[in-house]
Amino acid sequence: MIRYCLENLPVTWGRNDLPWAEWHPVEDEDPLALARSGKLHPRVSAAMDMARTLEKRGIPMIVSVWSVPRWARADHQPPELRGIALHEGKAPAIVASLAKALVFLKEQYGVEAAFFSLNEPKTGVEVRQTAIEHREFMLAMGRELAKHNLATVEFMLPAASYVTLLAEGE
């Protein structure tokens, strides 16, 4: 379906998954070092290949996190709320992990995302943040990415800033 859309529709923006749970499944491991040594999960590789495809076609993209590794999840997840809250005490490690994924995407695939987002739970996907948590996350990510000369990545606002269109019946 993706190939069909790219070949037959005037695609002007893409939204690409960053499989974070597969990028950094074990907290004590350095995902960037592992990826640089050739130990990259196939889902991550496939997502980064798609990002490269969009880049080659001149299609700007939003890189979105749709899965959260267990170590990055808050200890308590209220059952009445959709989405997964991130572990507040691990914010620096979370930011570093995600920044390293974007660094690797640029280093190895030649892609610098135009936008980055933690996907919102209103579409049934994973990450849930309050407006304050989101603002603090964006500021921390901005600082971390600037250290790696990736300061051009912008951040999506929380849930209301964009809409995910799903096919009827999904």
Residue 110 in any domain: the answer is yes
Least confident of 16-25, 73-82, 151-160: 151-160
- For residue 100, the surrounding DSSP H or E stretch is helix 91-109
pLDDT in tens, 32-65: 999 999 999 999 999 999 999 989 988 888 888 8
Q: Which residue has the higher pLDDT, 150 or 141?
A: 141
Give the chain's domain count: 1
Q: For residue 9, is it within any domain?
A: no
Tell me, yes or no, whether 115 lies in a domain: yes
The domain that holds 38 is classified in CATH as: 3.20.20.80
Domain that holds residue 139: 17-160
Q: How far is 155 from 116, CA to CA, in rounded Å?
A: 5
**Helices 42-56, 91-109: inter-axial angle, 10-degree rounding:** 60
The two three-digit tokens of residue 17, written as one number: 């998954």
Q: What was the pLDDT predicted at 41?
A: 97
Both tokens assigned to 157: 């606002």
Are residues 20 and 68 in contact, defined by beta-carbon separation less than 8 angstroms?
yes
Is 89 within a domain? Answer: yes
